Structure 1
Amino acid sequence: MSTNEINNQPTKWRIYLVYFLAFVLFSVAAGRLFYLTVLDKEFLKNQGEIRAVRTESIPATRGMILDRNGEPLAVSTPTWTVIADPRSLWALDTVPAGALDPTKERKTAKQEIARLAEVMGVGRAWLEERFETNRNKGFMYLKRQIPPHEAQAILEAGVVGVSKIKEYKRFYPAGEVAAQVVGFTNIDDKGQEGIELAYDKALQGKPGKLSYVKDLKGNIISVLGQEVPERAGENIELSIDMRLQYLAYRELKAAVTEQRATSASAVILDVRTGEILAMVNQPSYNPNDRSDLEYDQLRNRAVIDLFEPGSTMKPFSVTAAMRSGQYTTESIIDTSPGYIRFGRYTIRDLGNYGKINLEKLLVKSSNVATSKIALSLPQDTIWNMFYELGIGTPVGIGFPGEATGVLPMHPKWHPSEIATLSYGYGLSVSTLQLAQAYMVLANGGYKVPVTIFKQDLPPDGEQVVPANIAHDVVGMLQQVVAQGAKKAQIPGYNVAGKTGTVHKVGASGYQYDQYVSLFAGVVPATDPRLAMVVMVNDPKGQEYYGGEVSAPVFSRVMEGALTVLNIPPDRPEGLREVRLETKTPYRIVQGN
């Protein structure tokens, strides 16, 4: 073997090694290509889809909130929201000139942002900062829930990565009239207050999914199909009757304005079904425009605010006394000399009424007579009566923030505590709780659950007061209106009710220049159908008594409600000619 052959031997070996390695690499690549294109072709498909296919969430329509007659209280309207893909926009700075379209001049991200800011009518620096903050994100809101023409104007600018999506915006046809009951949603369509919050899950529905292919600019090239259809939220039908709601709201607002009161609330109940037909509050707000909203306006005062009910509780103390068997309608109580002392504490009447029966007790609203009755009964008699009527326990309508109220229970009662409890001091209730108690009396002592939802059939309840006693007490309350609270009277109808004027509690005790004015009543008294409580907080006008401030509101509202609901008069001889205004809200106007 020659020297050259010996020297060439390693060279040939290296060449063969290179050929072999090249063959191995080619085989691996070919095998991988065969595997991906034939055996596992879904991989390449998925990779392509990752870069070009997008899945968009399709918003579901939120369920409507309706009144008992099908009138909408909350509806969702479609709107457009303009969005951006910051990552695609900033990618313009990395694309060589002419790579996308050789005939067009290269665009930079900042140039596009400047053009977009001009179209949107916002500051360039502010918009550029937002894009910079979200530089690595594929999604950013630009303008949410705007009219179609405004969204179209932004899209026509053709800015890279800018597109639109459909969203829904909540609209409240009743505005401030039902604001605290219905509540509202935020910009993401999530319930924040009222029924919108309490039943947010049922109202929301379930969004769908839609797949599509888009280009570098974010434009949709083709829709691949709807993967999951959206499911609309459930509609909720309330027991509220908007005809009565408008009427009660108008009269309550007028009273608050006239009396320069701090706040007020009113509730109307159907005594047979427990349905809330109207629930209004002052002050209120417009849920369609919350730019000047104050937190205090959000309160559904009818279920949240508490107050001492005062003399409006005396009918229930009388009821407890009659149920005990120790008292009847003929029982006589001696109130002389017009006051009763407990050590340094003195309970007084407005005068010395002498010997009076239970009816006169309610007509004169005697604190002394009520106290003497309570002290003559076993200690827990009055407490048990109040508790069974729902005082001190939640009504249970499922409303956010519903107050429990306060019904104190003492291991050992002081006589003054029993006495003050009997005429409505030392405890606290909401307007709704007080209305529930009067509803029980009006329904023959039969207590049905109070509800905010429309009922097809009367619900089951329980007899908490014997029917004959409930009937007798309502008859006494009829005389209270006939002889005393005359501003609660309604032409053609017998009205049963009780006034209450309560000193407010302040930092240093009871404030003798601040009051809560109350009237609670039922109509028609001979066959009750409706119960209503009107509470006016801190009236600053010339009048502050419940019979002067709240009773007229009750009369005007109920006069219209009885006509709207076509409830026939039970005292035709007292009916004067009336006419019905043609425009809602409905109201009876007395003729000359």
Structure 2
Amino acid sequence: MTKQRKTVKRAAKSPTQRLYSGRFGFVMIVLLALPIALLGRLGLLQVVPEADQGFEFLQDQGDARSIREVAIPAHRGMITDRNGEPLAISTPMTTIIANPRLLLPTGGESPQEVEVVNRLAVALELDAGELLSRLKSVSSRRFVYLRRRMPPNEGESVLALNIRGISSITEYQRYYPAGEVAAHIVGFTGADDRGQEGIELLRDSELTGTNGSRRVARDLLGNVIRDLGVISSPEMGQDIQLSIDMRLQYIAYRELKAAVIRHQAEGGSIVVVDVATGEVLAMANQPSYNPNNRASFIPGTTRNRALTDIFEPGSTVKPLSIGYALETGLFTPDSIIDTSPGWIRVGSKTLLDPVNYGEISLTRIITKSSQVGTTKVALQLDPNELRDRLYQYGLGQKTATEFPGESAGTLPSQMVWSDIGRANVAFGYGLSVTATQLASAYATIGNGGVHVPVHLERNGVDYRAMSNRVLSPEISQQIVEMMATVTTLEGSGKNARVPGYNVAGKTGTAHKVGAEGYMGASYRSLFAGVAPVENPRLAVVVVIDEPTAGGHFGGEVAAPAFGKVVADAMRLLNVAPSTSTSID
């Protein structure tokens, strides 16, 4: 009995034991429920995409921190000459960029950050103090350029430092193989790779490509650790082919530079045009600049003088005026004009010849560039008809080049013409032209009297379909033969002669115009012509601005450069020599 009571007593639990036992059970249930709940939550996140903050949400959050969409740069199209010779190309370069927040987490105050910037400055070839100051000023930003368009091998050496917050992008840099020789035609691009001058500016929209994009994963340092694929492919810019022949361009540039140096001139231009097609084969200017070295730019040197600078063409207009005189039927090349006594009074002005030529033919008026003879012919012509004829040659209007900043020049337009006004226009005063317009006019004469719009690009446009006849073939040939006498030994342009070829042209010497009128001792020396006489292939214009040594007349200064350019051009283009020439 006593033993049974003891057993019952052991089986009974005290209230404290019962409390502990309940807590233990509760804890066990909780401990078992937690992993079950965790597993349930994990299953929910991994399996049910529509769940609040499910696996798709978490993936998006992770991607937002590591996945980036980066541009695939599209390079500009090439610019080439007529033979495919590159004049402007784009080369890939490395641009070093920084995230100042990652690079300088304390704002550049710690010695460790200063040391990192010092190492970075050495690799970038920058001043360490200036770089640190610059980074401090933008320490709150996430993006800043450190050095743009480095050669790829140099960029790789910077990235090899593995500095937190430093990365790179690819940009393209424009390179101009012909340098200063074709700079005024091709132009150049700015820091944003957009056209600033020349063809680069004119055809910027065609040359500029469309960037593509791709998705990448980056680490905390900003380095690409995985390429996730292309989103859109880049579309490269369109190539532009010019009418320029770089072989002739080098010749024209060489001779122009030599003439400017020889005569200590302010500058000059040479334009070479294919008379049959209107294509500009060469267009050189002085002074020039190197588009590959922007630090060398001098204000004013970037303009294309052959298309922007206007001037009075002087006696180079006489063949055009005489051509109209022949068209009227009032004159022939052999018509006699009395130029005695070597001067003529027109209104209040006295116009002079160097000597009294007496009675001379219309041809000899061109040969000797007689002011008196030209004036007497002009006073018998309708001035409005003459003006209109000059316009048909391409004067007083822009060419088909569409070149940025091109000048249209001016032609006088009057209801009532004074006699001196009529005379002035006939010998090239009172109007203004560009060197390219003058070349266009002479190309018209060389092309049998048909004017084809002058242009710089081979873009598939049929410019011959836009042509117009200015002179009859017979009259244009007569003018060419009359101009051929200018380059004989007794002509004013004898220095333009070319061994083996007959050439035709006209000298010109014009006073420069300043703020207060004509500048007494400042001239432009001109020579314009075609070659060869028998079947003209090229029209060439040479303009030398303000020569100060070795004379100032067109026959002394511009004619020799014309002869040298034509001599080399004829051989380069395989033009057959003339059967007989004025040079033994």
* TM-score under structure 2 length normalisation: 0.87
> Are the equivalent residues in 2 in contact too, given 1:272–1:458 (CA < 8 A)?
no
Q: Distance in 1 between matches of 2:55 and 2:140?
A: 30
> Are the equivalent residues in 2 in contact too, given 1:179–1:287 (CA < 8 A)?
yes
Residue 410 of structure 1 is matched in structure 2 by: 414
Residue 499 of structure 1 is matched in structure 2 by: 507
Other structure's SS at 1:295 match: coil
Residue 471 of structure 2 is matched in structure 1 by: 465
| 2:565 corresponds to which of 557, 563, 571 | 557
| 1:332 corresponds to which of 333, 336, 347 | 336
Residue 485 of structure 2 is matched in structure 1 by: 479
| 1:488 corresponds to which of 496, 507, 520 | 496
1:63 maps to 2:71: no
Residue 280 of structure 1 is matched in structure 2 by: 284
Q: Distance in 2 between matches of 1:455 and 1:307?
A: 30
1:117 maps to 2:117: no
Aligned residue identity for 1:554: F
> Are the equivalent residues in 1 in contact too, given 2:268–2:285 (CA < 8 A)?
yes
> Are the equivalent residues in 2 in contact too, given 1:55–1:211 (CA < 8 A)?
yes
| 1:437 corresponds to which of 441, 447, 458 | 441
* TM-score under structure 1 length normalisation: 0.86
Residue 245 of structure 1 is matched in structure 2 by: 249
Q: What is the CA distance between 1:506 and its match in structure 2?
A: 2.5
Q: What is the CA distance between 1:109 and its match in structure 2?
A: 4.8
Deviation string 1:126-168 (CA, Å, 9 cap, x unpaired) is 2233323333332211111112332122212221110112111
1:84 maps to 2:95: no
Residue 20 of structure 1 is matched in structure 2 by: none
Aligned residue identity for 2:278: G
Question: Aligned in 2, Cα 1:156/1:50: closer, same or farther, shift over 3 Å?
Answer: same
Q: What is the CA distance between 1:395 and its match in structure 2?
A: 0.9
> Are the equivalent residues in 2 in contact too, given 1:494–1:571 (CA < 8 A)?
no
Q: What is the CA distance between 1:42 and its match in structure 2?
A: 5.0
Aligned residue identity for 2:243: S
Deviation string 1:41-99 (CA, Å, 9 cap, x unpaired) is 655443332221111111112111111111111111111111112233345789xxxxx
Task: Flag the structure with larger Rg.
Answer: 2
> Are the equivalent residues in 1 in contact too, given 2:502–2:582 (CA < 8 A)?
no
Is the deviation greater in 377-386 or in 513-522?
Answer: 377-386
| 1:183 corresponds to which of 183, 187, 194 | 187
> Are the equivalent residues in 2 in contact too, given 1:442–1:522 (CA < 8 A)?
yes
Q: What is the CA distance between 1:118 and its match in structure 2?
A: 4.3
1:193 maps to 2:201: no
Pairwise CA RMSD: 2.4
Other structure's SS at 1:459 match: helix
Deviation string 1:352-379 (CA, Å, 9 cap, x unpaired) is 2222221011011111221122221223
Is the deviation greater in 223-232 or in 111-120?
Answer: 111-120
> Are the equivalent residues in 2 in contact too, given 1:275–1:455 (CA < 8 A)?
no
Q: Distance in 1 between matches of 2:505 and 2:57?
A: 79
Q: What is the CA distance between 1:327 and its match in structure 2?
A: 2.0
| 2:521 corresponds to which of 500, 503, 513 | 513
Other structure's SS at 1:265 match: strand
Other structure's SS at 2:153 match: helix
Residue 53 of structure 1 is matched in structure 2 by: 67
The aligned length equals 538
> Are the equivalent residues in 1 in contact too, given 2:241–2:459 (CA < 8 A)?
no
- Runs of 5+ unmatched residues, structure 2: 1-36
Q: Distance in 2 between matches of 1:209 and 1:409?
A: 58
Question: Aligned in 2, Cα 1:36/1:135: closer, same or farther, shift over 3 Å?
Answer: farther
Aligned residue identity for 2:95: T
Q: Distance in 1 between matches of 2:123 and 2:271?
A: 50
Other structure's SS at 2:464 match: coil
The 5 Å alignment of 1:92-491 reads: 109-110=113-114, 112-454=116-458, 459-460=464-465, 461-482=467-488, 483-484=490-491, 485-491=493-499
> Are the equivalent residues in 2 in contact too, given 1:36–1:43 (CA < 8 A)?
no
Q: Distance in 1 between matches of 2:71 and 2:287?
A: 39
Question: Aligned in 2, Cα 1:455/1:321: closer, same or farther, shift over 3 Å?
Answer: farther
| 1:74 corresponds to which of 76, 88, 103 | 88
Q: Distance in 1 between matches of 2:254 and 2:107?
A: 62
Other structure's SS at 1:291 match: helix
Q: What is the CA distance between 1:325 and its match in structure 2?
A: 2.5
Deviation string 1:142-199 (CA, Å, 9 cap, x unpaired) is 1111123321222122211101121111111111111111111123211111111111
Question: Aligned in 2, Cα 1:184/1:92: closer, same or farther, shift over 3 Å?
Answer: same
Question: Aligned in 2, Cα 1:366/1:118: closer, same or farther, shift over 3 Å?
Answer: closer
Q: Distance in 2 between matches of 1:262 and 1:224?
A: 59
Aligned residue identity for 2:337: I
Other structure's SS at 1:46 match: helix
Percent of residue pairs identical:
46
Question: Aligned in 2, Cα 1:81/1:337: closer, same or farther, shift over 3 Å?
Answer: same
Residue 12 of structure 1 is matched in structure 2 by: none
Q: What is the CA distance between 1:511 and its match in structure 2?
A: 2.3
Question: Aligned in 2, Cα 1:42/1:406: closer, same or farther, shift over 3 Å?
Answer: farther
1:547 maps to 2:555: yes
Residue 27 of structure 2 is matched in structure 1 by: none
Aligned residue identity for 1:83: I
> Are the equivalent residues in 2 in contact too, given 1:112–1:160 (CA < 8 A)?
no
